[in-house]
Structure 1
């Protein structure tokens, strides 16, 4: 089966509605699909209905922002109950932090000679509580300050750049607690993206496992083919289940489209084995 358990809609930093993401997944041959917006579950009801209309399996998800060793890590909560009170309260607190950070980023961009960046970024946001660096990057590209989203991060928005604002997200323990309270399974998203030392990587995986984390993304749109093999070995070494997801945000963005990844490498236990 074609299973894609990582995608985003306009409820966070994607560009399509939950229904449109569902329809694109179905058109691309996806059999089971998860919507996993950043720190937000408001699109899940629409997504579930759209998937049901298409006779496509649906797994409710969320991608939670976590701080670990002074860097941002994303933890997927899959097969969650979005109505869980603990999860809802935790995500609401993260969204308030995002909104505050956006104002501070706009101030720093103004210091760089780029005025009205907050208002410009809001034009790309369906949910103002989820305003993110990607929305600022889209505004900077549209206004001609940069030629690409990547250049916006390289010049202004990336970690340590002129308009970067450090934020303290949820702790790993908090995020896994919320996911567990909501009946879900915790998965480290795109582990190949985190710029840690080998010792810090080991600390992340071991702490995650000790706190009850169960899976890591092995095949994802954020990984290269070489990283598929690397994280397949790591999953086996730590006893993690393996997940597969495109990390879809927009048509034409990223390495792969919805459902466009290869199968999981042989010998791994899929994270979806309990549900599908």
Structure 2
């Protein structure tokens, strides 16, 4: 899950589990190790500036930013929660699974994230080639938007399009050139959602579906299969969730006594989201800490 995974795991295990964290807590932030625009230390600094006392780094399909984020967070008096956003797919729909407190050295999970990141690179290269036939952009332009070890993805293509003056911002890029219905789009390899949950649970982690209540919900059969496999809950306080599907999932969470979280999904300059715009209740964070066994939160 990134070259620094073993070091990240050792760092994150330096913790006394009997210590309690202090909220407010934002459990979904991204760095330049995936599709955020800031390195992990700056992400934690941004969280601190916005009044957060507990923060998670959840880069896509990698744990490589954990060590830097943990050191930065604890130096600021914050509790750091090791996390990752694991890619999954149900038919045409992308499903993002927040995975907290996983073992970064788990063989099966590392094998899957390696495969997904390889697919991201292949996809980005094919999309870049297709786009270059119609727009003045080259692969080197996209590479210039990444940092060493970053998981290359569509946001980096979007940033390259912005840098070349082809679009105004990421939003315009994703609404047009990079839209899944467009001619340039290439699907990403990702496991089915049930397999993704199983991998996270087997790695000692706590799986939560990110922003699950958008334009359409996953089918009931898939949701219940994920719950049977160990899905812990839903990220219900998120700016992309819509009221009606959120209410339906809130009822299911109550019926099944699930963990409910709220987060910003901060990406630095990549999105307008602000750290702490949604937060997770203290009792829900405690439940994540109690349930996770792959690694541990890092207290200041």
- TM (norm. structure 2) is 0.81
Distance 1:20 1:129 in 2: 16
Give the aligned partner of residue 188 of structure 2. Answer: 167
1:136-147 map, 5 Å: 136-147=157-168
Give the aligned partner of residue 8 of structure 1. Answer: 30
2:240 paired with 1:222 = yes
2:190 paired with 1:190 = no
Give the aligned partner of residue 129 of structure 2. Answer: 107
Q: Tell me, yes or no, if the aligned pair for 2:32 and 2:150 is still in contact at 8 Å.
A: no
Distance 1:180 1:262 in 2: 24
1:48-103 CA deviation, whole Å, 9 max, x = no partner? Answer: 11122112111100001101123211001012222322222221111111111011
Distance 2:179 2:256 in 1: 31
Give the aligned partner of residue 287 of structure 2. Answer: 273
2:255 paired with 1:241 = no
Give the aligned partner of residue 66 of structure 1. Answer: 88
Comparing 233-242 with 31-40, greater Cα deviation is found at 233-242
- The alignment partner of 2:94 has SS state of strand
Match of 1:206 among 207, 224, 228: 224
- The alignment partner of 1:109 has SS state of helix
Distance 2:146 2:69 in 1: 18
- The alignment partner of 1:270 has SS state of helix
Give the aligned partner of residue 77 of structure 2. Answer: 55
Change (3 A) 1:226 1:258: farther
Change (3 A) 1:76 1:262: closer
Distance 1:151 1:94 in 2: 26
CA RMSD of the aligned region, Å? 2.4
Change (3 A) 1:56 1:129: closer
Change (3 A) 1:224 1:71: closer
Q: Tell me, yes or no, if the aligned pair for 1:155 and 1:162 is still in contact at 8 Å.
A: no
Give the aligned partner of residue 271 of structure 2. Answer: 253
- The alignment partner of 1:5 has SS state of strand
For structure 2, the 5+ residue unaligned runs are 1-22, 291-300
Larger RCO: Structure 1 or Structure 2 (Cα < 8 Å, ≥ 6 residues apart)?
Answer: 2
1:28-39 map, 5 Å: 28-39=50-61
Q: Tell me, yes or no, if the aligned pair for 2:259 and 2:287 is still in contact at 8 Å.
A: no
Change (3 A) 1:252 1:39: closer
Distance 1:214 1:274 in 2: 9
Give the aligned partner of residue 109 of structure 2. Answer: 87
Shift of 1:181: 2.4
- The alignment partner of 2:98 has SS state of strand
Distance 1:262 1:230 in 2: 20
Change (3 A) 1:223 1:127: farther
- The alignment partner of 1:61 has SS state of strand
1:96-118 CA deviation, whole Å, 9 max, x = no partner? Answer: 111110111012102323431x2
